[in-house]
Amino acid sequence: MKGALGEMLAACSQRFEDLKTEPLLRGLLAREATMTTYLGLGVSLPHVRAKLGRRYILALGRSRAGIDHDGTDGERSHIVIMLLADEKSRDYLQVLAAIARLVKEPELVQSLVESDSVDMLYDRLIAGLGGMQVRRVPQKQNRMNRLMIREADRVAKGAECDAILVMGDVFIGGIDTSMWTPKIKSILVTKSGADGTSAFDAFAEVIQVRSFSPQRLAQVRSAILVALTRGIISFTDRLCCIGGVQGSNQFDTVGVVDVEREFQTLLTGNADLLPDDVKPEVFERVIAVATELGVEGREGKPVGCLFVVGASAQVEKLTKPLVLNPFYGYKDEDRNILNPFMDETVKEFSTIDGAFVIQGDGVVVSAGSLIQATDSEHLLPSGLGSRHAAAAAISLATQCIAVVVSASTGQVTLFRRGVMLPLTEKKVITEG
Ligand SMILES: Nc1ncnc2c1ncn2[C@@H]1O[C@H](COP(=O)(O)OP(=O)(O)OP(=O)(O)O)[C@@H](O)[C@H]1O
């Protein structure tokens, strides 16, 4: 890896002659020594921040034979994406996250590894950055899709909806935007990268979510929550939603949702779903990690988990460590939940008892914390035990938002001011 990084830095310094490669290499290797930058699928993303004089330099290296890399369980790196960032680049974590998201597409990675020439690799990378190729949907299916779109438009107008929410992942590779014709403001919700695609012309807003529960209603709920926290819709809005089974290429459902009624129990007169100090992207990230844990578990086994986000000064007074805090001593940037390398770390620690305490800006303060707040006033539905009770109590005692993944049902539930809002449906978990 040291050799590969040296080569890539040399290539960069040919382009940018003022680049001081020695300290950059030292920085990259030091970063690598604290935590591996291997992302999986044969891709590594070494990165460093330094005085660069420009915001970012990105270099991509390919090795067909692969490079040995620490902390990869014997997997080799075939693609090395080196990100150099200036000390002052403020969206550093977002850039890292965007790159990490991109290389989660196995087909793209494979096509980069197999490219015959630098030009071909470059073209494929650019195509990958521009989103996936939209696949053709058979004529017959499209007739029904067009009909559903027209109906959604009519329902939206008739019911005086403020916007149409379109679940885009019904279509493999994304919705064919030429098909989208309604006059009402439309919001596309999608898991796949929409950056830079034509979706931005056809839709007023694009909400990119990282993880979805497979259930359709739960998907709509998560999407509305994200749209709310980002200020794309408001509590008084009425939405027309159009969706279908993921990857089926077929819209099959049109529904109307009154946002306020949907989230009524949670709001009761308070319009601030998110605590003041919690950044929307941090909340979204926590929901995404929680949903992934709920759906996938850890190494095939169901896991439970509790995230307490925001109001960390208040929260700290009501918590006690159950184990030595594994996040102690790391730089804020390295233990921020927005950092893509934290995903695995958080999932790894999800198996230890206790809660994650996370600051509103994303910095993980601790894991394995015992919540000492108690609340005897609110009765939780039967079947919910001490983890859910702790989440309810801490959300009542402080201005935090708590997110629980149930080990017994996989359900993700949100707590704010002691009120619970299930975000995903329960699933039946069988042992073994
Ligand atoms: N006060 C608390 N603070 C932090 N973590 C807690 C607290 N109470 C329980 N937990 C965590 O929740 C775990 C499971 O507890 P329990 O089964 O009673 O909860 P539950 O609400 O039924 O959740 P699940 O649906 O995941 O089983 C405990 O092993 C512990 O890790």
pLDDT of residue 72: 66
User: What are the structural domain ranges in the chain?
Assistant: 2-129, 139-265, 280-422
304 lines ligand 1 (CB under 6 A): yes
Q: Whose CA is nearest to atom 28 of ligand 1?
A: 353
Residue 381's alpha-carbon distances to 41, 78, 378, 386, in angstroms, are: 42, 50, 10, 12
CB 189 within 8 A of CB 207: yes
Facing residues of 165 across strands? 187, 241
Identity (one letter) of the amino acid at 222? S
Atom of ligand 1 nearest to the CA of 390: 1
> What's the confidence (pLDDT) of residue 197?
53
Distance 385 CA to ligand 1 centre (A): 6
Q: What is the pLDDT of residue 377?
A: 66
Average pLDDT over residues 138-160: 87
pLDDT value of position 40: 84
Give residue 240's Cα distance to chain centre: 24
| Cα 210 to Cα 100, 228, 289, 389, 428, distances in angstroms | 12, 16, 9, 28, 23
- CATH superfamily entry for domain 139-265: Pyruvate kinase, C-terminal domain (3.40.1380.20)
Weakest mean pLDDT among 113-117, 226-230, 278-282, 394-398: 226-230
**For the CA of 373, the nearest atom of ligand 1:** 1
Q: Name the residue of 307, 349, 387 to mutate for ligand 1: max ligand atoms within 8 A of Cβ.
A: 387
Helices 118-129 and 106-113 sit at what angle, rounded to 10 degrees?
Answer: 170
Q: pLDDT tens across 76-116, in order?
A: 899 999 999 988 877 777 778 778 877 777 888 888 899 88
User: Sorting pLDDT into bands at 50, 70 and 90, what band is 148?
Assistant: very high
* 2-16, 197-211, 339-353, 387-401: least confidently modelled range: 197-211
Q: What is the pLDDT of residues 52-80, one digit of tens each?
A: 888 889 999 999 999 987 766 778 899 99
**What are the C-alpha distances in Å from 177 to residues 254, 258, 410, 415?**
18, 26, 35, 37
415 Cβ contact list (under 8 Å, min separation 6): 388, 391, 392, 394, 395, 401, 402, 403, 404, 421
Q: How far is the centre of ligand 1, averaged over its atoms, from the C-alpha of 426 (Å)? A: 17
* The pLDDT value given to residue 134: 43
Domain 280-422 has CATH 3.40.50.720: no
Model ipTM value? 0.95
One-letter amino acid at 75 equals E
d(CA 117, CA 121): 6
Asked whether the beta carbons of 242 and 149 are under 8 A apart, the reply is yes
Q: Fold for domain 2-129?
A: Mannitol-specific EII; Chain A (3.40.930)
Distances in Å between the Cα of 101 and the Cα atoms of 97, 194, 424 are: 6, 11, 23
pLDDT digits (tens, 9 = 90+) for 237-280: 999 999 988 778 889 999 999 988 877 656 555 567 788 899 88
Residue 421 identity (one-letter amino acid): L
Q: Which atom, in ligand 1's list, is nearest to the CA of 409?
A: 25
Q: Counting atoms of ligand 1 from 1, which one is nearest the CA of 352?
A: 31
> Residue 400: which of 306, 321, 327 has the closest Cα?
306
